[in-house]
Amino acid sequence: MKQQNKNILSATITLAIALLSIFLIFAVLRSNQSENEIQQSDSKTLLQTEPPPSESRQQITGLTSEEEEQIHHKMRNFSLNNPESIHTLQSLIQPYADDLLANQASVLNTLDIYNINEEDVSQHILPDYPAQYMNLSPKQFDVPLLLQKDPEWRNIKYGNEYYEPLGDAGCAILTLAMLESYFSNKIILPTDILAWSKGDYYVNNEGTSWLIFGDFAEAFDYQFMNYGGNFYEAMKGLDKGELIVASVEPGFFTDIGHILLIRGYNNGKVYVNDPNDDLTKMYSIQGLDESIFLDEGVNYWGFTK
């Protein structure tokens, strides 16, 4: 009996030692895993706060390494309200400025490095006058580009009893501002158009009533032509000196329908000033195939002085 008890005790001790060993092994493994997770977390934090890799810095041509480091330091403190921040961003984009469309991925990657939303800065990077950009076509009107998501006015309320911000529903207002800017030979802001319309043409859940176009033409002394849905007749209007305002269905441009300005047409390509443009689209700096308008165009209006 004593011998049996000793054997049981010995087996119990052996089992306890084995269990303790297994526990210690798991504890060590868990400790290593936690340490790795902490290191990975620290690494992610550093990626967010450290300057971008050296290959990104080398994209800034004509600067010393010290000047480049100053730029990256400023970008880590980027502010839309700071003109120096905007100038610094433009310096970073400058190597791509001659062909933004071909370098679109690099432009967006630069913004991503610094956690900058493209809608916040597109008006500072897309060309002010797209018709001058890369000589896209000889037959274009030199219309300034104004964007409805520009932080300067995107949060302004548009409408009276019902309203939305200009950034969401202001495509017609921005289009008329661009049109009036061209014919006035000076920049007309969307707030100037709102001062005239007073939000009276906003229709809840629909956007802007088409009545605004005829009334605008009368109020601002334009010759006005309603081409209905006839795309090709509207394109002939360009040859008569007209700028064309287009209404399109949901699809290529937006999910809810859209108003934009057509400034040129040549060899089946349509050149637009898209008030909803940004760096992810770049529609205003390329020729769009006419099939888009043949499929989605709803109505066209011509304006000239």
93, 78 contact by CB (below 8 A): no
Rounding to the nearest 10 degrees, give the CA dihedral for residues 257, 262, 266, 267: 0
Q: How many CB atoms lie within 10 A of CB 1?
A: 5
Please give the single-letter amino acid code of residue 30: R
- Domain ranges (residues) in the chain: 126-304
| pLDDT for 62 | 54
DSSP letter (8 states) at residue 242: -
> Along the 305 residues of the chain, how does pLDDT read in single tens digits?
444 444 544 555 555 555 555 555 444 445 444 444 434 433 332 333 344 444 444 344 456 777 677 777 788 888 999 999 999 999 899 999 999 999 999 999 999 989 999 999 999 999 999 999 877 667 899 999 999 999 999 999 999 889 999 999 999 999 999 999 999 999 999 999 999 999 999 999 889 999 999 999 999 999 999 999 999 999 999 999 999 999 999 999 999 999 999 999 999 999 999 999 999 999 999 999 999 999 999 999 999 99
- Digit-coded pLDDT (tens) for 79-111: 999 999 999 999 899 999 999 999 999 999 999
279, 125 contact by CB (below 8 A): yes
CATH code of the domain occupying 126-304? 3.90.70.10
Residue 146: burial class (beta carbons within 10 Å; 0-12, 13-18, 19+): buried
Q: CA 198 to CA 156: how far, in whole Å?
A: 12
Q: CA 121 to CA 79: how far, in whole Å?
A: 11
Element (H, E) at 13: helix 2-49
* Residue length of the chain: 305
Residue 194: burial class (beta carbons within 10 Å; 0-12, 13-18, 19+): buried
Q: CA 125 to CA 277: how far, in whole Å?
A: 12
Q: Tokens 């409408």 appear where?
A: 159
C-alpha 267 chain-centroid distance: 28
Strands (E), the chain: 157-159, 163-165, 202-203, 207-208, 223-228, 243-248, 258-266, 269-273, 288-289, 297-304
| pLDDT for 28 | 42
